[in-house]
Amino acid sequence: MKIRLRLALWYSGVTSLILLLFLLGTYLGMRHLLFAALDKELDFVIESIEQSYDPETGIFEGLKHNPVNLSQHLKKFYLVVRDTSETPVFYSLLAQQIALDIPLARNGERVSSFVHLAPEKIPSLRLNGKLKHKAYVSFRSVSRQLYYREKRVGWATIALPVADVEDSLEHLFLLLAVGGLIVAALIGVGSFFLTRQALSPVRNIIRKARQVSHSHLDERIEIQNPADELGQLTMVLNDLFERLQKAFGTQKQFLADAAHELKTPLSILRSHWESEIDNPAVPHALKEKIVQDIENITRLSRLINSLLFLSQTEQINSNFEFEILELGGLIQEVAADIRMLTEAKSQQLQVVELVPATIRGDRSRLYQLFFNLIDNAAKYTPEGGKIWISLRLENNRALAEVRDNGPGIPAADLPHIFQRFYRVNKDRARKSGGSGLGLAICRLIAEAHSGIIDVESEVGKGSVFWVSLPLQV
Residue partners of 39: CB distance under 8 A and separation at least 6: 112, 140, 142
- Confirm if 59 and 89 have CB atoms less than 8 A apart: yes
* Whole-number Å distance between alpha carbons of 79 and 71: 9
Residue 385 within binding range of ligand ADP, rule CB under 6 A: no
Binding of ligand ADP by 439 (CB under 6 A): yes
Q: End-to-end alpha-carbon separation of the chain, Å?
A: 41
Min dist CB 196 to ligand ADP, Å, is 45
> Angle of helix 284-313 relative to helix 438-448, nearest 10 degrees?
30
201 binds ligand ADP (CB under 6 A): no
Our finding on whether 301 is near ligand ADP (CB under 6 A) is no
Q: Rule CB under 6 A: choose which of 424, 446, 453, 469 binds ligand ADP.
A: 424
223: left (phi over 0), alpha (psi -120 to 50) or beta: beta
Calculate the alpha carbon distances from 71 to 49, 90, 94, 115 in Å: 12, 9, 9, 21
Q: How far is the CB of 352 from ligand ADP (least distance, A)?
A: 17
C-alpha count within 13 angstroms, C-beta hemisphere, residue 23:
20
Residues 6 or more apart whose CB falls under 8 angstroms from that of 237 comprise: 205, 209, 221
Q: Where are the beta strands (DSSP E) in 176-287?
A: none
Draw the binding track, 166-185, toward ligand ADP (x: CB under 6 A; -: no contact). Answer: --------------------
Under the binding rule (CB under 6 A), the answer on residue 369 touching ligand ADP is no
- Give the integer Cα–Cα distance in Å for 468 and 402: 12
Helix-then-strand count for the chain, H and E: 12, 14
Report how many residues bind ligand ADP under the rule CB under 6 A.
22
Establish if 377 lies at the interface with ligand ADP (CB under 6 A). Answer: yes
Kindly state whether residue 342 participates in binding ligand ADP, applying the rule CB under 6 A.
Answer: no
Stretch that binds ligand ADP, among 36-44, 115-123, 284-292, 399-407 (CB under 6 A): 399-407
Pick 196 or 299: Cβ nearer ligand ADP: 299
The residue within the footprint of ligand ADP, chosen from 417, 445, 448, 453 (CB under 6 A), is 417
Q: Provide the minimum distance between the beta carbon of 339 and ligand ADP in the complex, in angstroms, as a whole number.
A: 17
**Given the complex with ligand ADP, which of 391 and 437 has the nearer CB atom?**
437
Q: Does 404 bind ligand ADP (CB under 6 A)?
A: yes
Please say which residue, 192 or 367, places its beta carbon nearer to ligand ADP.
367
Binding site for ligand ADP (CB under 6 A): 372, 376-377, 380, 404, 406-407, 409, 417, 422-425, 429, 434-440, 463
